[in-house]
A and B are shown apart, each in its own frame.
Chain A
């Protein structure tokens, strides 16, 4: 039997063999997009660090069979920045759920994007806190039903890509699990870019968000993503009302502004030479 190409990177001794995610969940797909990008870039996997926080998405790193750092809810970017300072030769990839990215970890996201730290951050946006049973998050669509918004979400949802772009990140893109090739390409470009790369991937949570909002199984939800996605270019000709129910996908920014780790190490290098 042919082995799945991702298996060579997968830790097989973790709980819930082969993994703990629900049937139909998009996280497994995004796990594969990440290793596919690493593979296609021919990176030495022993020089790739996966960092995660807590929650369904936070668990992604714990299945990477090389170095990983499974940290605190919402705070993986701080830890990742520290490692990157000490070991700039490592490729640092950070997976974060929508709750930890936009709520508890909001300031870490803003600051890491502003500093433009050479980390590739992948936000798995499935519109709710899945691990704890499906509570609303800052990315839950308006009127979305969740465990803690039984009559519909009344809070505006966050456009994380616009936020991160404004903060100063070098690379920002949004795709859905219905756009696998585009997502893999963006992860690759994010890794190549010397600066903060933020890739939001809209993902299905059929067990919680999908079930409560009658969106069907994983495949149905991906169809929903596919049918309601519009490219960034197209969205420019649409009014606010039309855009509200759509997923705007594409590359929001791809630039080469100065990066934090190399700037700090440059100061240390120059000053220590002068000191001696």
Chain B
């Protein structure tokens, strides 16, 4: 099954009720399959008039009590930014699949790049938090789509599937478990009477307020305004500070519960190749080859990109001399790795600006060069 198709099956397994998306290469296959499959399970497919319309419909449907997602690529994310900020501010759980393509600008629509790492995290105005997961296979397109829905429902944040053209169009065997074997999380709803309901009063343990749907009788005030816990607009500093801090912390403070990484041979290695998404497939081959040639190389793959695994990277840095970061851009996640490593290890960027993926031999040669 193709990666884009596996994403659709993951969404259906996670009980997605609505998909709205605008055609864009290389994410169109998600729309195409959704337009068939979603209706079969009683859901609704909408072809948005553009990316703004698509994400607005998704956010509206979520406040109607549904689970919903959209899919797009780099340029589409650019257009969605205002809605992404609105979703973050209104704490609307929604899933956005970003099948990255080469840019900037229109770039090379049919070719891959990992160029959206920062625009999905910091693209909308001011401070908020999101979650992003980077699959490296069609199977993970399924698994991480389910996970993206669950995390988004748990933390009430926009959650991204940060994939790319290579994974989106890759065909591999995908195992779809029986419905009862799939863990599905649904947002926490308020369980108090209307008189005692505070629309944006957070739960102490998670910083996430319970969320009613429109029509449930909770007289829900949803707005992109800075607001008090009652939902009243406010320009008061203390109110704003409390709100923005909570929007930031609800993901950052729960990072340990969210973060997932994969690693091999890190215990005895001098150099670790740290990567994510499609690049990680080449990196794995490269590390395997290097080890056969007697080089003490290790492999690390970030499955969770945001929140960034600061603690994990620091632990890696404490135990190796060099961390090398191959990625299909001019060096983005490498900046985060440098920051998290706190100078404990040398961090080396190995960039490639999209269209072509690194080959295992290229990465292996770079490992050899670094280790001398």
Residue numbers in A under 8 Å from B39 (CB-CB):
267-268, 271-272
Q: Hey, which chain A residues are within 8 Å of B282, CB to CB?
A: none
Which A residues are CB-close (under 8 A) to B68?
82
In the complex, chain A residues whose CB is within 8 Å of the CB of B215: 46-47, 49, 67, 87, 89-90
Q: List the 8 shortest-distance A-B pairs measured between CB atoms, nearest first.
A: A82-B60, A86-B64, A78-B56, A70-B223, A272-B42, A82-B57, A111-B49, A82-B61
Q: How many Å lie between the Cα of A82 and that of B87 in the bound state?
A: 13
Q: Which residues of A contact B220 (CB under 8 A)?
A: 67-68
List the interface of chain A (C-beta within 8 A of B).
Answer: 11, 13-15, 46-47, 49, 62, 65-72, 75, 78-87, 89-90, 107-108, 111, 264-265, 267-269, 271-272, 275
Q: Does B205 contact A (CB under 8 A)?
A: no
Residue of A nearest to B64 (CB): A86
**A84 contacts across to B, CB distance below 8 A:** 60, 64
Assess the B18–A78 pair: CB atoms within 8 A. no
Q: Are A275 and B57 in contact (CB under 8 A)?
A: no
B82, B214, B224: the one contacting A49 at CB < 8 Å is: B214
Which B residues touch A271, using CB under 8 A? 39-40, 42
Q: Which residue of A lies closest to B40 (CB)?
A: A275
* Chain B residues with CB under 8 A of A111: 49, 53
CB distance from B156 to the nearest CB of A (A): 16
A82 and B40 form a contact (CB under 8 A)? no
The answer on a CB contact under 8 Å between B59 and A79 is yes
Known: A82-B68, A268-B43. A62 touches B221 (CB 8 A): yes
Decide: A68 and B61 in contact? CB cutoff 8 A. no
Cβ of B200 under 8 Å from chain A: no
Known: A71-B224, A82-B68, A264-B44. A65 touches B232 (CB 8 A): no
Contact in complex: B49, A69 (CB < 8 Å): no
B130 proximal to A (CB < 8 A): no
From known contacts A14-B232, A86-B17, A87-B65, infer whether A70 and B225 are also in contact, taking CB-CB under 8 Å. Answer: yes
**How far is the CB of B221 from the nearest CB of chain A, in Å?**
6
Question: Does the CB pair B64–A72 fall under 8 Å?
Answer: no
- Contact call B49/A62, Cβ cutoff below 8 A: no
Q: Is the beta-carbon distance between B214 and A82 smaller than 8 angstroms?
A: no
B65 touches A72 (CB 8 A): no
Q: Told that A47-B215, A108-B53, A268-B44 touch, could you supply 5 new A-B pairs with CB distance under 8 A?
A: A83-B63, A86-B17, A86-B18, A86-B60, A268-B42
Interface residues on B, range: 35 or more
Q: Which residues from chain B sit less than 8 Å from chain A, CB to CB?
A: 17-18, 20, 38-44, 46, 48-50, 52-53, 56-66, 68, 82-83, 86, 213-215, 217-225, 230, 232-234
In the bound complex, CA of A14 to CA of B298 (Å): 58
Give the dominant DSSP class at A's interface: helix
Residues in A neighbouring B65, C-beta threshold 8 A: 86-87
Instruction: Give the residue of B52, B83, B223 whose beta carbon is less than 8 angstroms from that of A62.
Output: B223
- Which residues does chain A contribute within 8 Å of B213, judged by CB atoms? 86-87
Instruction: Give the docked Cα–Cα distance between A80 and B61 (Å).
Output: 8
B125 to chain A minimum Cβ distance, whole angstroms, is 12
Most buried by B among A15, A67, A265: A67
Q: In the complex, how many angstroms separate the beta carbon of A229 from the nearest chain B beta carbon?
A: 33
- Name the residue on B nearest A80 (C-beta): B60
A65 and B220 CA atoms in complex are apart in Å by 9
Among A14, A46, A86, the residue within 8 A (CB) of B217 is: A46
Q: Say whether A107 contacts B50, CB under 8 Å.
A: yes
B184 to chain A, nearest CB (A): 18
Nearest A residue to B65 via CB reads: A86
Chain A nearest CB, measured from B144 CB (Å) = 24
Q: Do B64 and A83 touch across chains, with their CB atoms under 8 A apart?
A: yes
Centre residue among B38, B48, B53, B62 by max chain A CB count within 10 A: B53
Verify A87–B56 contact, CB threshold 8 A: no
Please report the C-alpha to C-alpha distance between residue A80 and residue B232 in the assembled complex, in whole angstroms.
21
Cα–Cα distance between A11 and B231 once the two chains are bound (Å): 11
**Could you list 8 A-B pairs, sorted by A, with CB under 8 Å?**
A11-B232, A67-B215, A72-B56, A78-B48, A85-B60, A87-B65, A264-B44, A272-B39
Q: Within the complex, which residue of A14, A62, A264 is in contact with B46, where a contact is CB–CB below 8 Å?
A: A264
A14 touches B56 (CB 8 A): no
* Contact (Cβ within 8 A) A69 B40: no
Chain B residue with the shortest CB-CB distance to A14: B232
Within 8 Å by CB of B63, from A15, A69, A75, lies A69
Give the nearest-CB partner of A105 in chain B. B52
Measured in the bound complex, the distance between the Cα atoms of B56 and A268 in whole Å is: 21
Contact among B42, B214, B230, B233 with A269 in the assembled complex (CB-CB below 8 Å) = B42
Let me know if A82 and B20 touch, CB within 8 A. yes
| Chain A residue with Cβ nearest B50 | A107
* Across-interface contacts of A69 in B (CB, < 8 A): 60, 63, 214, 222-223
Contacts of A75 in B (CB 8 A): 52-53, 56, 83
A107 touches B49 (CB 8 A): yes
Contact of B18 among A65, A66, A79, A85 (CB under 8 A): A85
CB distance from B235 to the nearest CB of A (A): 8
Q: What separation, in Å, do the CA atoms of A144 and B26 have in the docked complex?
A: 47
Residues of chain A contacted by B82 (CB below 8 angstroms): 72
By a CB distance below 8 angstroms, the chain B residues around A264 are 44, 46
- Residues in B with CB closer than 8 Å to A15 are 232-234
Contact B232 A13 (CB under 8 A): yes
Write out the residue numbers on chain B whose beta carbons fall within 8 Å of the beta carbon of A275: 40-41
Most chain B CB inside 10 Å of its own CB: which residue of A82, A265, A271, A275: A82
**Chain B residue, CB-CB nearest to A108:** B53
Whole-angstrom distance from the CB of A224 to the nearest CB of chain B? 33
Docked Cα-Cα span, A71 to B332, in Å, equals: 32
- Point out the residues of chain A lying under 8 angstroms from B17, CB to CB: 86
Q: In the complex the two chains form, what is the Cα distance from A70 to B89 in whole Å?
A: 12
Cα distance, A209 to B319, chains bound together (Å): 69
Task: Check A71 against B86 for contact (C-beta < 8 Å).
Answer: yes
Complex CA gap A232/B221 in Å reads 39
